[in-house]
Structure 1
């Protein structure tokens, strides 16, 4: 059963508010809107990229009926903390899970993530944390936010390594859900994060190429410069 159906079955509907993250997963906000309720965006924890329980509590109003927690990049949300908020305010707490992987696939991803953890320089590697399955291996590129991150990504791709920006535009900045709300950790994550390949099928040589491509750049790339391109 999808998020909209679960909310509707619980009696959530027109006039209600549902707290959701703005860092990706626009389909969650769309599900809330589909049943006539209003999505309310709360900030994320900068380590897990999932809803921050304190931010959720601060977003609660008399109209709040539910919270939808999204597990991000294979890292579980703080479900215990969010359920605590739910109990204190009488709210329904739902979990939106990513597609799972087999035990063997998860083990191989963790092995590749551990390799990157020990080898990468110049980027902030993800905090493994309890239960991380590394659906994506998301690093932070230091520097001046989006310009440096985007330049770094272009330079890595130029060296033959696939990488992608996991969340290009937070949901609260999309035209259909535009809100005037302060979400500093969401904005920072959207500007600094980059997903590097950690697929279970990658060979050791391919993983070494990822490390070489990133480490050769020596940190963030200045926009408009030739640094990191070997010229």
Structure 2
């Protein structure tokens, strides 16, 4: 007989579980780490080989190969919000290695997606940030003048978003916003995914490190009313002779109160 949902057992202590963690989240976090390695090691031989086959952009991969499956899984993790869209973000320095429209460097999505109307009017869609920011001013190359309407409103919002950005002499680099030191850790990614996909209880788990593990689990089961008492067996459809506690001869609710 199953007393607790498996998702609750896997959930973290803060979510009322036993902090086991799911293998699904662990596997997804390991797959997403390939994206981090791909972005952080652009000059490695294996990255150069993949780029020669699929193109320079991580998202350009299509087909049925193993690498395309990794790319699709990473895209699904973001689209299903298992990890935030800005989990991996380009930290802009001199702007020489960051695509203005195609890289995530401001906000939670690419500018090409958030300002789609302006992107279609752009003449140089592959421009780097350094090409757009000249003499401390943002320079635009539109296919036709933007004077009014929705395009003008989008341009106004874009300029407001970019108002605080200034280029520096430092090189552009990818950072992971899941950790304080901006490195990617599978453990943190797994915990974040678990918090999204696992069910949880409103009762936070109190885990005492001094007590043996089996005692902590027993207290957790008692707190959630998962002990095989006569009353619990009865309400789950089992035929029991009595719901009186065989130890103290009290009814279930009195026994529970006087035991702790």
Please report the TM-score for the alignment, with normalisation by the length of structure 2.
Answer: 0.21
**Highest Rg: 1 or 2?**
2
Hey, which of these two has a bigger chunk of strand by percent?
A: 1
Higher relative contact order (CA 8 A, sep 6+): 2
Hey, which of these two has a bigger chunk of helix by percent?
A: 2
